[in-house]
Every structure is written in structure tokens, then in C-alpha cells.
Structure 1
Amino acid sequence: MRDADGTYAITGGCRCGSIRYRVTKAPLFVMACHCTDCQEQTSSAFSLGMPVDKEGFSHTGEPVVITKTAESGNESRAYRCPTCAVWTHTTTDGTPDTVVVRPSTLDDAEWVKPVAQIFVRSAMPWAKLDVPHSYEKEFDDPTEIVKTFRSSGILDRLS
């Protein structure tokens, strides 16, 4: 949703409501991550991630932070509710100005559609998505992914 002043008002949180968040800037894109860490954290084939500008993200509640060193050598921090254990967002040292929101925790996720997937090398064969951008590992530069997302019309569903 958009507020009257043109800023975004995307909200979400954990199952029990202890952690709530708000995104006020347009998401950069939505992607699927097939890395084995995401598979383990979600007990599923992949996780969805929606990178947003850190300045446009705020949350209430005190999440538990689980830190892991990624394959890149950067630290990754998964934020989970201490009560219901839902994974709401992630930050990494590699992209310090970005918060990766977990779209499955959005109040309204009807508009969500990934335009990229990463760590396809560890994807379950039946779970590979038909998206414009696929990467065996991580991507170095998200510029093309952002362009694809912006031109896709996906954000128009939020208006």
C-alpha cells in the first residue's frame, strides 16, 4: 500500500505479533534463495527475500539474532521472534544499507513475485523458478534485477 504522501506503507510481522515491521520505501526486488542455509531455516525448498533500503525499514519488538558467516565470508544475521521463532528479516555485512524482509511475513503478500533466484546450484530440481535472473551463487551487482523489478509492474499492485 502507499500512503497519501507517496511513501510506501508495507507492513508485516511474526505469527504471534511480538515483532512488527514497516517498510516506507519501495522494495528493490523480490528473489528466491536456494542456498542450503535458507532451506534449513525455512524447512522448505527456498526462502523469499525482499531487499529494502535500511532507512525505509523499522520494527518493534526485540528479535533474537542468529549470526552466521556466509560463503562470501560476510556475516549474515537472521532476525527471529523469541516467542514464535518466525524469521522476519535479515541483514548482512555485504550489504549494510539493506534489510532483506521475508515476504512470507507481510500482512499482504498478494502482490509478491520473485524476479530472480540465487544459489541455483543447490536448488531442489523441482523448485527452480522461471524468473528473468538466475545465479548459480550470489550476484555481484543487483542493477539489472532492480531494473527488471521496477519495469515489471509488480509494484503497481501496491498503489
Structure 2
Amino acid sequence: MAEPDRTYAITGGCRCGGIRYTVTTAPLFVMACHCTDCQQQTSSAFSLGMPVEKDGFSLTGEPVAHPKTADSGNESRAYRCPTCAVWTHTMTDGSPDLVIVRPSTLDDARWVRPVAQIFVRSALPWATLAVPHSYDEEFDDPSGIVETFRASGIFERVA
């Protein structure tokens, strides 16, 4: 089981190396987001997100923030490299103590596997995932998702 209080050193960054980051706390979970905004930003069926505590996220480089106001009224900011335009992470007003790392930008993402998916209402019909937690929109309480991720053994492959 992933130890939330342990220190980690998970690294990643953009394609050109202009943005680098380190995560030093255990990720809460990995999820897929099927919202139309993520579909547009990735030019794909969904994005992957890995929430981590803001205090456990450090960054080098100067990403550009691309803000958007959600239907909820909360603003989210997608951070991209100004040179290669890779989307490395997101921050939202609704979860100010978290950073949503884009796990496809990890140096080693082989261990990544989502345990949840959100905004399934806008998923492409062929792109829904067989995961333990699935929501038509956003979830209110992530505690079940966090527990599923910790108990799954997924994270031990990197920890």
C-alpha cells in the first residue's frame, strides 16, 4: 500500500525540457477526464490527471497559464510549456491545495493506471474505461477513490 507520509521523488516535464517538475508526496490517485475541454486540450478522447498535494510539487521553468471558467464558476488553469506547448499540470480554484499533474508527462509513466473517470456523460462511446469509480460529472468526495488507489498496488511499482 502506498504510504502517504513517505517522501517520493517522481519527476517529469515537457518535451523540450523547458519545464521540469518533481513530486515528493504520494499521488492521491489517477483519473481519466472525458470533459469536452480535456478532449480539445489533448486532441484525444480524454486526459489523465494525477492529483498531488501542492506542497509536494516543485517546478522549474516558466509555464504559461491558460485559464478557463468551468460551469461550476471555478477557474482552472492549464499550464503549458511556452516553447513546446506540452500541458504539464493544472490548478483549480475548487481545489487550491492540489496540483493535477498530467501523468503522461512523467519521466516513467509505465505504472500509471486510472482508478476513476469523470464527465462520462461526454465520453466518446468507445472510450469509457473499466475502472472502479465512474461519474457522469465531477465527484464530490474523493475519499473512496483515494482508498481504491492506495489499496490497488498500482503505485508500489514506482514507490
Unaligned stretches of 5+ residues in structure 2? 1-5
Which amino acid in the other structure matches residue 33 of structure 1?
C
Cα distance in 1, alignment partners of residues 71 and 27 from structure 2: 25
1:3 maps to none
Distance apart, 1:7 and its partner CA: 1.2
1:135 maps to 135
2:153 maps to 153
Cα distance in 2, alignment partners of residues 156 and 104 from structure 1: 18
CA RMSD, Structure 1 to Structure 2 (Å): 0.6
Matches of residues 12-27 of structure 1 in structure 2 within 5 Å? 12-27=12-27
Cα distance in 2, alignment partners of residues 94 and 45 from structure 1: 24
Q: 4+ residue runs of structure 1 moved beyond 6 angstroms? A: none
Cα distance in 2, alignment partners of residues 65 and 102 from structure 1: 14
2:66 maps to 66
Which amino acid in the other structure matches residue 52 of structure 2?
V
Q: Give the secondary structure class of the aligned counterpart of 2:126.
A: helix
Cα distance in 1, alignment partners of residues 35 and 56 from structure 2: 27
Cα distance in 1, alignment partners of residues 104 and 72 from structure 2: 25
* Counterpart check, 1:32 vs 2:19: no
Which amino acid in the other structure matches residue 56 of structure 2?
G
Aligned residues: 154
Distance apart, 1:71 and its partner CA: 1.6
Distance apart, 1:148 and its partner CA: 0.2
Unaligned stretches of 5+ residues in structure 1? 1-5
Over the matched positions of the two proteins, sequence identity in percent amounts to: 80
1:77-136 Cα distance to aligned partner (Å, 9 max, x none): 000000000000000000000000000000000100000000000000100000000000
Q: Give the secondary structure class of the aligned counterpart of 2:84.
A: coil
TM-score, normalised by the number of residues in structure 1: 0.96
* Counterpart check, 1:10 vs 2:19: no
1:47 maps to 47
1:132-154 Cα distance to aligned partner (Å, 9 max, x none): 00000000010000000000001
Which amino acid in the other structure matches residue 87 of structure 1?
W
